[in-house]
Chain A
Amino acid sequence: MRFITIDKKNWTQGIDQSRKTYQVFGPVRDENGCQIKPLAVDTHPEMDAAVTVMSPKSVLFPQTEKILTATLDESKEDHHIMKPVENGDIPRVVLGIRPYDARAVQLLKLNFDNPDYQDPYWCEAYDATTFVGLGVTHPGPCDFSTAVGSGPFNEEGLDVIMADMDDKYLAKILTEKGEKWAAACGFDLAADARESQALFDILRKEAEKQIQAEVATDQLAEKNILDLYEAPFWDDVAFSCINCGTCTFVCPTCWCFDIQDETRHNTAVRFRNWDTCMSPLFTHHASGHNPRGTRVQRVRQRFMHKLKYFLDKYDQGIMCVGCGRCVASCPVNIDIREVCNRMNDYETTK
């Protein structure tokens, strides 16, 4: 790994140069907030944008994605035989991704790339994507990443991490992919390694100090699943929930999807769409039986999955990176930090 400095005067030019190799994604502001979007030729990322409403997970995992097609035309030899859709592994770079979102990608990887099955669509997109992160010097009030295994200057999952030094960026290149990106941009001004690391350490400490997260997760692993499941506070937690999909859709670590077929004239297409455990239909059997037919059961499922089942199954910490998007966007202000503390502190009376 090595350090380089990027004069901000050269930044947009470098990005434009890299477009020969990469499709560029980055944060932009619109009337509704900030979003990570593919950047057209004359747009550049707004690197000082606040946290985006939607997470960058859609770069690897679009909300609607065609996965298979078939022709229904019986005069064709391969009628009704499904073929994969090539979604293309055009190299991409996500600029200004926050460290907690990069960790989230690694958590998603546990699902989409495991020893038993690999999702070719997600995996190819992942292999084709370079993550150039920007350390968060002023974490917002909903950021609690330090309490859950991440932090404003964490390097997990990033190919490059940059720090904003007013007139320039100080960049730490972490991987091969990062090197390739820097080369494609023509960013090559080396910086002293020891001094640079020291600067990063200071910035990290300053940023982490600003996060006043009081979220405890240390007791979750040793709790018994059924004790937590039967806990009496779920009715209270779930009362105001309107079972929309907001929390799951803005969340960088939620991965559930639906598979649906559609036809148009003589073509059949199989899509996958983001789905949400908040939806009453999520677990609805064709027979009409629904194991999670009530709102309380669904709300409980979400928090148990995020804070307990995932923890037990993968032993990689909880399925939350502390981005705070669900807290900011939940229409009824259900706060995962409060629920986590309730679960962490819960003792059965027996």
Chain B
Amino acid sequence: MDTCIEKIRAIAADLLARGTVEKVIGFADGSIPMATRPIAVSSPKEVEKLVFNSVCGLNLANYVSKNSLSKKEGKIAVVAKGCDARNLVTHIVENQISRDQLVIIGVPCTGMVDKRKIAALFEDEITGFEETGDTLIITSSSKTETVNKADVLRHNCQVCTHRNPPVYDVMAADPVPEQTLEQPYADVDHIAAMDADARWAYFEELTQNCIRCYACRNACPLCYCPTCFVDESSPQWVGKGQDTTDVATFHFLRAFHCAGRCTDCGACVEACPMGINVRDFTRKLNKDALELFGWEAGLDLDKRPPLDVYSPNDPNDFIK
């Protein structure tokens, strides 16, 4: 992938030098192999810290919702992959930030790697990670592996059909070809085909390692409620312990709150310290939004999400 980092840095430096924006939110190198970290740079000489590569798996739109920004912040630029840009569109539509407060530095993306898949190739801990083009060279104290990026892509990137930001102010590279998929929701269909008992068992196993750290919720740009439903006390909707019903309730309800809004950016799974694929829940609802309302989130600044507006054509066969 053309990481287009030089272009990103140039754009950022230019925006900052002219004073068009107060800060640019992007990624910087991390302190351990396969890590990057979100940073905000506010002067042209800092743009050298910005990086863009195949381990930029978080969603920077997370840093521009109302509760992330202080009231007096000026214009901000955000480095945005296809999915991230769609979340920025959703933020604008949901009044979390105004269009003119944002400069979207669009980055066409050919996908992020699945760090767990890579770690599973080794018995010991990874000590080095290098990327050249589509080849990854990963080392540990016992061996070196050379891998094709395509073989270790995250699942959401494998099924991504919006690699290019649909809305942007400036693009850091030429658009990349979009994928067309025969069966984009094969994973959802597989679960939906299970009978109720099998499905319940599947979900129990899926969430059994959950430690209620809320990294998934906090990494998600959509989860910006000042008080999340799990934190309410009057009344208390969900217990805070490890009871399996409480854990499942958190995941189910969170997925429903993201229905029609989720862009499948994968930040939730990336953030989870236990590697739980919470996308099994959100993707089902994304599929429903597509099939029931013809809707995909974050593609159009002028359209409101289907759960936000009423139309007489809304499906209503659930009304008996």
Contacts and interface: CB of A to CB of B under 8 A. Distances in A.
A96 to B, nearest CB: 15
Interface string B271-295: 1011110000000000000000000
Interface stretch (A186-194, A223-231, A307-315, A332-340): A332-340
A50 B30 CA distance: 21
Given A32-B209, A32-B275, A246-B215, A327 B38 contact: no
B127 interface: yes
Interface of A: 30-33, 35, 48, 50-51, 53-54, 63-64, 138, 140-142, 239-240, 242-246, 249-250, 258, 260, 262, 271, 273-274, 276, 279-281, 327-329, 331-335, 337-338
B218 A242 contact: yes
Interface string B38-71: 1110000000000000000010001100000000
Nearest to B211: A249
A242 B31 contact: no
A48 B123 contact: yes
Contacts of A329: 273
Contacts of B116: 31-33
Given A63-B242, A140-B124, A260-B241, A242 B219 contact: yes
Contacts, number: 115
B238 to A, nearest CB: 11
B35 interface: yes
B231 A64 contact: no
B62 A262 contact: no
Contacts of A245: 211-215
A281 B275 contact: no
B31 A335 contact: yes
B38 A239 contact: yes
Interface string B91-126: 000000000000000000000000010011001111
Given A63-B211, A138-B141, A141-B125, A244 B37 contact: no
The main secondary structure of chain B at its interface with chain A is: loop
Contact of A53 (B35, B218, B274): B274
12 contacts: A32-B209, A33-B116, A53-B273, A64-B241, A142-B125, A244-B218, A244-B271, A249-B213, A260-B239, A260-B241, A273-B240, A280-B231
A72 B239 CA distance: 19
A250 B212 CA distance: 12
B32 A250 contact: no
Contacts of B119: 33
Contacts of B274: 32, 53
B36 interface: yes
B123 A244 contact: no
Contact of B240 (A249, A260, A338): A260
B125 A50 contact: yes
A138 B126 CA distance: 12
Nearest to B33: A141
Interface in B116-142: 116, 119-120, 123-127, 141
Contact of B215 (A33, A142, A242): A242
B127 A141 contact: yes
B38 A31 contact: no
Contacts of A250: 273
A327 B125 contact: no
A331 B271 contact: yes
A17 to B, nearest CB: 28
Interface string B233-254: 0000001111100000000000
Given A273-B241, A332-B37, 6 more contacts: A53-B274, A63-B242, A64-B241, A242-B62, A331-B271, A333-B37
Contacts of B37: 240, 332-334
Contacts of A335: 30-32
A327 B31 contact: yes
A51 B239 CA distance: 31
Contacts of A281: 231
Given A239-B40, A240-B37, A273-B241, A328 B219 contact: no
A192 to B, nearest CB: 31
A64 B31 contact: no
Contact of A338 (B31, B36, B58, B218): B31
B84 interface: no
B270 interface: yes
A240 B231 contact: no
B219 A33 contact: no
Nearest to A239: B40
A275 to B, nearest CB: 8
Contact of B214 (A138, A244, A338): A244
Contact of B58 (A138, A276, A332): A332
B242 A64 contact: yes
Contacts of B36: 333
Contacts of A53: 273-274
A203 to B, nearest CB: 16
A142 B32 contact: yes
B98 to A, nearest CB: 22
Interface string B205-227: 00001011111011100000000
Between B32, B36, B242, the greatest number of chain A beta carbons within 10 A of the residue's beta carbon is seen for: B32
A257 to B, nearest CB: 11
Nearest to B240: A273
A299 B163 CA distance: 34
Nearest 7 pairs of A and B residues by beta carbon: A64-B241, A331-B271, A244-B215, A140-B125, A32-B275, A242-B218, A333-B30
A262 B213 contact: no
Given A50-B123, A50-B125, A63-B211, A244 B219 contact: yes
